[in-house]
Chains A and B, each alone.
Chain A
Amino acid sequence: MRFSLTRITLYGVLATILFLLPVFVKSVYVMHIINMSLIYIIVVSGLNIIMGYCGQFALAHSAFYGVGAYTSAILSTRFGISFWICLPAAVIASCIAGFLTSLPCLKVKGHYLAMVSLGLGIVIHEAMVNLENLTNGAAGIINIPPPFLFGVSLDTDHRYYPIILVFTILSILFVKSLLRFKVGRAFIAIRESYTAAEAMGINHRFFKVQGFVLSASYAGLAGSLYVHLVKFVSPDSFGLGELITEFAMLIVGGVGTLGGPVLGAIILSFAYEYLRALHSLQMITYGVMILLFVLFMPRGLVTIKDWVFALRKGAHSASSG
């Protein structure tokens, strides 16, 4: 990493713009979509760790998201515990769920892994519906308190935004640094070839468990941020539809890239909301959009960057030549 002056200025300006966004965005609706996009960046970055970097079909991610959300919701409504304690508790609970899920997943590969993780996700989802004493069943939990910071209630999208933004930035930076250490490199080695990774002395079981736990911790963090934003939680938010959304965001943005989850989460969150104008055609258009992305831009939106570079290079060589 080069710490050039231009680079620092660039990041400084970017951060300032990001943190001042609520000043420019007046609409509560738009602010809510922005907050949801940020939460999805965290969720999808987590999915990217296990699916993009580690190359495992882990289809229980929406269930981990739900575990985080419910942990935070139950602790804050039943016991009146502060958001700042609920949040780490939610992360830990999701980590435990991720750890337990990873154990049977070590035995199977490919489509079989997809089936096992999907099945375990369904088991967790069914527990949310049926553990009525704890989760209030299908009706869900209402009146979840907003977070407080220095005595100020962060009860609007505008006020809550900076907190979510900080966690989102930290999440992205964490993935970025992960790739520079042994863990991240081991993940990629396992994705590229099991056999080669093992031959290099990488204990793929150990790292796969780590991958599951790490990705689940992201889902837990996002789940906690989510329930304190919408102040309501029900099992409907963590079903198959949710899993498809997260999955689609990852693919549309770009699997196994740092920027992919960011682009995918923002584009699909806004697309989903603004396609509502099409009424009954909303979901069809959404589906067609995902399908077209998969077929014509399988490496995701991040590849646009390469096009821009290629264009600039082309223009440069044309002018110099």
Chain B
Amino acid sequence: MDINLITQIISGGLGIGIIYSLVGMGYSMIYRSMGLVNFAHGSIFMIGAYFGLVFYVRLEFPFPLALLLGALLTAAVGFFLERVLRPISRIETLYMLIGTLALGIILENLALIIWGAEAWSFPPPLGEKPISYGVFMIEPQTILILVISPLLMVLIQVFMQKSLTGKAMRAAAQDRETAGAMGISLNKMNALTLAIGSGLAAVAGILAAPIFLVSTGMGWSVAIKGFAAAILGGFGNPIGAVVGGMIFGILEALSAFFISSTYKYSISFIITIVLLMFKPTGIFGEPLIEKF
């Protein structure tokens, strides 16, 4: 077996997996903060990719600037979506699911009106020629993903742990009433969490755009896999979501290569489900005590 090929498959899987991780992190952060399972998150991923496309391809901004502007603009969308999601987060999970799915449909079709039905290609900023380094062979886009995403994750983690705002956000997520009594505005903290989650999804969307093609329907499959990542890691645990996403991505790449490319999603879902049979609340999840 060719070692070049194996490293390329695993690194490619890891690259896609980190995309799911970024989306899954958003799911878990939003769930922990406002108790909301946000299935519109895939549509936010898609909107982020379009913003990136507008800045990088149409306005021809340099890629780092396009990435930053795209993420900030999507974060702003997330911030204002809090107003829409606030009432949804207060109802039962069953209604929450359909409410956020409906919001996803609305966002997707707004994008369809603004940007049209065709799929856009997004030229990879570092070119397409695989880079080989000794026995390692890796796609340039994968390098970009593997450099930017962990940096971003660390940055978010530092912000959440060290800054006053981050501490307030964690406090609000942990104990709403006490945090509220301490003068923390819960709605503002939720809006900030949604903004960060949306920014992460936008970065994921822009980084994945050269691999996926940008289209209005691109969000749903990532929405499901990001959710799978968050569940596999333990729902509500952002670090778990990162691990879950990487596992899912690597499984997908390996099963596509070794078993069957047409069944790669089935195989990765089945393995995820089997893992959940042994750990019904995810890898880092705490046992469920709530009644469902």
Contacts and interface: CB of A to CB of B under 8 A. Distances in A.
Interaction A to B: yes
A159 interface: no
A298 B277 CA distance: 33
Contacts of B37: 111, 114
Interface of B: 37, 87-88, 91-95, 97-99, 101-106, 108-110, 112-113, 220, 224, 227-228, 231, 235, 262-263, 265-266, 269-270, 272-273, 276-277, 280-282, 288, 290-292
Nearest to B101: A244
Contact of B276 (A57, A108, A291): A108
A251 B277 contact: no
A255 to B, nearest CB: 6
A8 B13 CA distance: 65
B109 A107 contact: no
A248 B102 contact: yes
B102 A294 contact: yes
A118 interface: yes
Interface string A225-247: 00000000000000010001001
A139 B108 CA distance: 25
Interface of B is mostly: helix
Given A57-B97, A119-B270, A288-B106, 20 more contacts: A55-B292, A57-B93, A111-B235, A112-B235, A112-B281, A115-B276, A116-B276, A119-B269, A123-B270, A130-B262, A193-B291, A244-B98, A283-B109, A284-B106, A287-B102, A291-B103, A294-B88, A294-B91, A295-B88, A298-B95
Contacts, number: 132
Given A119-B273, A193-B291, A112 B231 contact: yes
Contact of A112 (B106, B269, B282): B282
Nearest to A286: B105
18 contacts: A115-B231, A119-B228, A120-B269, A122-B224, A122-B269, A126-B263, A126-B265, A129-B262, A247-B101, A281-B113, A282-B109, A284-B110, A287-B105, A291-B103, A294-B88, A294-B91, A294-B99, A294-B102
B109 A284 contact: yes
Given A116-B273, A122-B224, A288-B106, A110 B292 contact: yes
A244 B93 CA distance: 15
